């Protein structure tokens, strides 16, 4: 029964990983860029919500509504100021520039907030600890369920947006071939900037849920980037639903690993990631597949 | 011979021959460091040599082979860990540093088999995952005692002065050896293949370059060099705390050094290491703002000056101190007065 419980908790944890990974996967699918500041920007959003809750008494979920438009602006500026310029320098420059950005964001947060770990849980009332008892041994936390549901909704909405709307089609067309998209009247720069803004909104959502379900500190961005990346790669594609699957695999692996030993949580996650890569060695399919949706 | 313009392939220039000689002379002079300098300077220079090793190997990986890794701290930490392990097993300390690095180089071989199939940013973060995993696994060793760490007790057998000088010479020798190996490698046929892969993997493979095998050579040399740097760092710092050695800050330093000095220029990595060394000496005490500055410089250089200082010098003044490539020059054929005029450069191959 303990094992079953660990698996259920792992699946729910996977919902959070899918949430943090979906922006990474989306951005890779659309712009072929892996943003190394991804995790740091999620932590930035978390701190923004923390400040709103701590100084101004704003409820975390209301704070999220305020932070998301700001994150969209961050995404737009990031695309126009950093990513667009770096992408012109080839495949490697974005890696370097976004790494530099991550170092800047992390250390500025440290300068501002110090080394203390923070959490939004104290401001979330009963949401932080309420749970439903399924059997005597198995409980499902309300927050964990809400996180999972949010990630399914968000992924579904992104999927619908990319396949059913004109803007989504423009973004996909830009992803396939920006020059040809330009010929048929798509403004590739605008499409990419909108895509980056959307990706950062999902990063904001992920940062908010991270702050609610756990503690964070200024240097927590790195691990979040790694989890997002692992979920996206295990998911195997720029495919959004694949990301959910990847998140669940990662969450379950970590959860089972934690059952074995305290260090097993992280070790199992990284090991599953490397095992998946190793497995693909023999199948010829590697890494994130560069396509949107 | 008629008066025609001909193309010639140029490799050595008087400037570059002079700078290689100068570099050799500088290393020879540095060998007398412990005789000429105070203890403080010897310690500082040892650190500088380690930075040069880190920058040169990272530059070979990222600048020449196009493999940007943000997980080289995996090898740095493993190098130090292997050195601690060997010393605890009774292995002689100083030879143990090199053996430790060689073991890590050996370990990087199977790792390369699947990591090198990842591309661009995926390879970058994938390597970070490897570093995190290695960190966690090293923590499990009872000798290391988790994050508490351990120290290289075996070095206590040496007097402080002997130890300082030994470590200095060892770092200097390692730096000289690694720079030489990289210089020769990058100028060789393999070096051309490495850069061809960086520029266009498919085209390189179409002209018969063995892509994976060639990348593997650079990957393993970089792993060895970085591990040696880690082992040497251990010899100067004495204590081994996994968090320090496996920290992502090493990658931040390497990126800073190489981007500022010049990604993909041989002398750039050395210049970058010296610049980083100086900046750290002056501003290291500024703590967080110092780190913000490092990150911001990496961001600004990658956006505005991706070739770094040396790349800029090369473009602006046509100055190549330690060239590893070939370039085509436009040479006017000898005229009746038998004067050999060097013409305008039309194309450079780095």
Instruction: Write the residue in B122, B128, B133 that is nearest to A233 by C-beta.
Output: B122
Q: What's residue A289's pLDDT? A: 52
Q: How far is it, in rounded angstroms, from Cα B50 to Cα B270?
A: 11
Q: In 3-state terms, what secondary structure has residue B344?
A: strand
Q: In 3-state terms, what secondary structure has residue B10?
A: strand
- What average pLDDT does range A142-169 have in this prediction? 90
**Most confident region among A258-262, B283-287, B339-343 by mean pLDDT:** A258-262
- What average pLDDT does range B70-83 have in this prediction? 94
Chain B residues closer than 8 Å to A109 by CB: none
Hey, is the C-beta of A194 within 8 angstroms of any chain B C-beta? no
Q: How far is CA A94 from CA A45, A65, A220, B48, B225, in A?
A: 22, 30, 21, 28, 26
Q: In 3-state terms, what secondary structure has residue B343?
A: strand
Q: Which range has the worst mean pLDDT, A171-175, A289-293, B179-183?
A: A289-293
Hey, is the C-beta of A225 within 8 angstroms of any chain B C-beta? yes
**Most confident region among A98-107, B37-46, B86-95 by mean pLDDT:** A98-107
**pLDDT surpasses 50 at B341:** no
Q: Which range has the worst mean pLDDT, A49-63, A210-224, A274-288?
A: A274-288
Chain B residues closer than 8 Å to A267 by CB: 133, 136-137
Q: What's residue B127's pLDDT? A: 92
Q: What's residue B338's pLDDT? A: 43
- What average pLDDT does range B56-78 have in this prediction? 92
Confidence band, pLDDT 50/70/90 cuts, at residue B263: confident
Task: Quote the minimal CA–CA distance from B111 to chain A in Å.
Answer: 10
Hey, is the C-beta of A27 within 8 angstroms of any chain B C-beta? no
Hey, is the C-beta of B296 within 8 angstroms of any chain A C-beta? yes
Q: What's residue B346's pLDDT? A: 39
Confidence band, pLDDT 50/70/90 cuts, at residue B345: very low
Q: Which range has the worst mean pLDDT, A215-224, A227-236, B77-86, B206-215?
A: B206-215
- Tell me whether residues A287 and B118 touch, CB distance under 8 A: yes
> What residues of chain A, 54 to 113, have a C-beta less than 8 Å from chain B?
82, 85-86, 89, 91-97, 99-104, 106-108, 110-111
- What average pLDDT does range B228-254 have in this prediction? 90
**Most confident region among B119-123, B229-233, B308-312 by mean pLDDT:** B229-233
Hey, is the C-beta of B47 within 8 angstroms of any chain A C-beta? no
Nearest residue in A to B66, CA atom: A92
- What average pLDDT does range A254-282 have in this prediction? 86
Q: How far is it, in rounded angstroms, from Cα B143 to Cα B150?
A: 7
Hey, is the C-beta of B133 within 8 angstroms of any chain A C-beta? yes
Hey, is the C-beta of B302 within 8 angstroms of any chain A C-beta? yes
Hey, is the C-beta of B298 within 8 angstroms of any chain A C-beta? yes
Query: What is the torsional sign of CA A256, A260, A265, A268?
Result: negative
Task: Quote the minimal CA–CA distance from B307 to chain A in Å.
Answer: 11
**pLDDT surpasses 70 at A1:** no
Confidence band, pLDDT 50/70/90 cuts, at residue B333: low
**pLDDT surpasses 50 at A246:** yes
Q: How far is it, in rounded angstroms, from Cα B106 to Cα B123?
A: 20
**pLDDT surpasses 50 at A291:** no
How high does pLDDT run on average in chain B? 84
- What average pLDDT does range B44-69 have in this prediction? 92
Q: What's residue B161's pLDDT? A: 81
pLDDT tens-digit map of B85-104:
998 888 888 899 999 999 99
Q: What's residue A27's pLDDT? A: 87
Q: What's residue A293's pLDDT? A: 39
Which residues, 6+ apart, have CB-to-CB distance to B332 below 8 Å? B3, B5, B6, B341, B343
Q: Which range has the worst mean pLDDT, A259-268, B7-16, B127-136?
A: B7-16
What token pair was written down for B220?
């393993």
Contact B257, B50 (CB under 8 A): no
- What average pLDDT does range B174-185 have in this prediction? 92
**pLDDT surpasses 50 at A8:** yes
Which residues, 6+ apart, have CB-to-CB distance to A28 below 8 Å? A34, A232, A238, A288, A290, B121
Contact B261, B314 (CB under 8 A): no
**pLDDT surpasses 60 at B18:** yes
Task: Quote the minimal CA–CA distance from B93 to chain A in Å.
Answer: 31
Contact A252, B89 (CB under 8 A): no
**pLDDT surpasses 60 at B339:** no
Q: In 3-state terms, what secondary structure has residue B331?
A: strand
**pLDDT surpasses 70 at A237:** no
**pLDDT surpasses 90 at B53:** yes
- What average pLDDT does range B100-128 have in this prediction? 89
Q: What's residue B154's pLDDT? A: 77
pLDDT tens-digit map of A42-84:
999 999 999 998 888 888 888 888 899 999 999 999 999 888 8
Hey, is the C-beta of A275 within 8 angstroms of any chain B C-beta? no
**pLDDT surpasses 90 at B125:** no
Burial class (CB within 10 angstroms; exposed 0-12, middle 13-18, buried 19+) of A125: exposed
- Tell me whether residues B291 and A96 touch, CB distance under 8 A: no
Hey, is the C-beta of B17 within 8 angstroms of any chain A C-beta? no
**Most confident region among A33-47, A77-91, A124-138 by mean pLDDT:** A33-47
% of chain B at pLDDT higher than 90: 30
Q: What's residue A76's pLDDT? A: 93
Identify the residue with better confidence: B115 or B284: B115
Confidence band, pLDDT 50/70/90 cuts, at residue B336: very low
One DSSP character per residue, A14-58 reads HHHHHHHHHHHHHHHHHH----TTHHHHHHHHHHHHHHHHHHH--
What token pair was written down for A289?
């597949």
Instruction: Write the residue in B113, B139, B295 that is nearest to A100 by C-beta.
Output: B295
ipTM of the complex: 0.85
**Most confident region among A46-60, A169-183, B98-112, B298-312 by mean pLDDT:** B98-112
**pLDDT surpasses 80 at B323:** no
- Tell me whether residues B124 and A107 touch, CB distance under 8 A: no
Q: What's residue B250's pLDDT? A: 92
Q: How far is it, in rounded angstroms, from Cα A13 to Cα A19?
A: 10
How high does pLDDT run on average in chain A? 86
Task: Quote the minimal CA–CA distance from B269 to chain A in Å.
Answer: 15
């Amino acid at each position: 029964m303990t094992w079953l419980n660990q698996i259920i908790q792992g699946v729910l944890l996977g919902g959070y990983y899918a949430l943090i990974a979906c922006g990474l996967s989306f951005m890779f699918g659309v712009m072929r860029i892996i943003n190394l500041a991804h995790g740091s920007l999620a932590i930035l959003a978390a701190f923004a919500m923390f400040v709103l809750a701590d100084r101004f008494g704003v409820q975390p979920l209301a704070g999220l509504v305020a932070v998301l438009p700001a994150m969209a602006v961050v995404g737009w500026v990031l695309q126009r100021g950093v990513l667009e310029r770096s992408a012109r320098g080839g495949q490697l420059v974005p890696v370097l520039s976004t790494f530099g950005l991550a170092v800047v964001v992390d250390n500025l947060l440290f300068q501002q907030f110090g080394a203390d770990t923070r959490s939004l849980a104290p401001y979330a009332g009963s949401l932080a600890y309420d749970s439903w008892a399924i059997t005597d041994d198995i409980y499902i936390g309300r927050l964990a369920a809400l996180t999972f549901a949010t990630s399914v909704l968000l992924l579904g909405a992104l999927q619908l947006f990319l396949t059913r709307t004109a803007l989504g089609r423009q973004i996909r067309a830009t992803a396939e071939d920006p020059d040809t998209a330009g010929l048929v009247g798509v403004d590739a720069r605008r499409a990419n900037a909108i895509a980056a803004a959307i990706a950062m909104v999902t990063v904001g959502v992920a940062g908010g849920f991270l702050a609610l379900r756990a503690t964070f500190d200024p240097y927590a961005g790195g691990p979040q980037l790694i989890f997002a990346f692992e979920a996206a790669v295990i998911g195997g594609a720029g495919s959004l639903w694949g990301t959910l699957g990847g998140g669940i695999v990662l969450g379950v692996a970590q959860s089972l690993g934690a059952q074995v030993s305290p260090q097993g949580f992280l070790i199992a996650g990284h090991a599953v990631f490397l095992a998946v890569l190793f497995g693909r060695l023999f199948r010829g399919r590697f890494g994130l597949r560069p396509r949107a949706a | 011979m008629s008066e025609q313009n001909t193309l010639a392939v140029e490799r050595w220039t008087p400037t570059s021959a002079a700078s290689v000689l100068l570099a050799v002379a500088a290393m020879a002079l540095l060998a007398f460091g412990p005789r000429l300098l105070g203890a403080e300077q010897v310690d500082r220079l040892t650190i500088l040599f380690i930075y040069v090793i880190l920058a040169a190997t990272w530059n070979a990986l990222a600048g020449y082979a196009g493999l940007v890794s943000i997980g080289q701290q995996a090898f740095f930490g493993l190098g130090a860990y292997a050195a601690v392990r060997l010393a605890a097993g009774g292995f002689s300390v100083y030879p143990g540093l090199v053996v430790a690095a060689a073991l890590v180089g050996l370990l990087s071989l199977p790792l390369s088999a699947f990591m090198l199939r990842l591309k661009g940013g995926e390879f970058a973060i994938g390597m970070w995952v490897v570093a995190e995993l290695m960190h966690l696994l090293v923590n499990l060793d009872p000798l290391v005692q988790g994050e508490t760490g351990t120290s290289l007790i075996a070095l206590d057998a040496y007097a402080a002065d002997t130890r300082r000088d030994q470590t200095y010479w060892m770092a200097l020798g390692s730096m000289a050896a690694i720079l030489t190996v990289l210089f020769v490698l990058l100028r060789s046929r393999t070096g051309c293949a490495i850069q061809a892969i960086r520029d266009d993997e498919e085209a390189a493979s179409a002209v018969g370059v063995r892509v994976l095998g060639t990348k593997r050579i650079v990957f393993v040399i970089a792993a060895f060099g970085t591990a040696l740097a880690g082992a040497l760092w251990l010899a100067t710092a004495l204590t081994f705390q996994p968090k320090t050695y496996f920290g992502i800050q090493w990658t931040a330093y390497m990126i800073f050094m190489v981007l500022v000095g010049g990604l993909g220029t041989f002398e750039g990595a050395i210049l970058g290491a010296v610049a980083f060394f100086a900046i750290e000496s002056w501003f290291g005490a500024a703590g967080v703002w110092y780190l913000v500055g490092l990150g911001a410089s990496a961001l600004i250089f990658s956006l505005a000056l991706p070739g770094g200082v040396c790349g800029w010098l090369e473009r602006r003044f046509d100055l190549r101190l330690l060239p590893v490539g070939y370039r085509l020059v436009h040479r006017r054929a000898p005229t009746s007065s038998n004067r050999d005029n060097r013409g305008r450069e039309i194309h450079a191959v780095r």
